[in-house]
Amino acid sequence: MAKMMARQKILVVEDAEDHRSVLRWLLEMDGYEIVEAGDGLCAVDAARRESPDLILMDISLPKVDGLQAMREIRASAALRSVPIIAMSAYDQQEIREQALLAGCTDYAPKPLDLEQLEVMIRRYLSPLECEVTGTD
């Protein structure tokens, strides 16, 4: 029997297209399936529709900010246990506390330390293995 790694899905919520592109590229290189949203409203919709394994959520977003989007995501029973890593250029204790109260699991200050972000993601997403059997 061969073992195969299941692809885990990460929702990347970032309004800056260049930042989203870099995150998408890096995470796809690590084997993750990526879903993207550019604002808080789309983030809530994508989370409900896609059921991601983890969410990277910028706090400063158009339409609905990341804090409100996290609250709405956490209001869904199906999404309560999904890890959310909040990201913000405002690395102040007050912002971290607001993010934790809104429902984030962890916090990554911007500019992102990509190695540290990768370690953080691995902390919440352990590799899944599926057994693949032949049907010969």
- Tokens coding 52: 């991601």
pLDDT at 11: 98
Q: DSSP states of 101-112 as a string?
A: HHT-SEEEESSP
Give tens-digit pLDDT for 31-78: 999 999 999 999 999 999 999 999 999 999 999 999 999 999 999 999
Q: CA dihedral defined by 87, 93, 98, 101, rounded to 10 degrees?
A: 100
CATH number at residue 74: 3.40.50.2300
- 133 domain residue, yes or no: no
Which residues constitute the domain of residue 37? 2-124
In a domain, 25, yes or no: yes
Q: Which of 82-86, 101-105, 132-136 has the lowest mean pLDDT?
A: 132-136
pTM (predicted TM-score): 0.88
- Does any domain span residue 119? yes
- Per-residue pLDDT of 94-114, as tens digits, reads 999 999 999 999 999 999 999
Of 14, 7, 106, 100, nearest in space to 52 by CA = 7
The count of structural domains within the chain is 1
pLDDT bin (cut points 50, 70, 90) of residue 14 is very high
pLDDT at 133: 47
- Give pLDDT, residue 2: 45
Beta-strand pair 129-132/54-58: unpaired
Q: Where are the alpha helices (DSSP H) in the chain?
A: 17-29, 40-50, 66-74, 93-102, 114-124
CA–CA dist 80, 4 (Å, integer): 28
pLDDT of residue 76: 95
Give 14 or 130, the one with higher predicted confidence.
14
- pLDDT of 127 reads 59
Number of Cβ atoms within 10 Å of the Cβ of 67: 22
Task: State the Cα angle at 98 between 94 and 102, rounded to 5°.
Answer: 170
Helix axes 40-50, 66-74, angle to 10 degrees: 30
Predicted pLDDT at 91: 72
Predicted confidence at residue 6, as pLDDT, reads: 61
Residue 136 lies in a domain: no
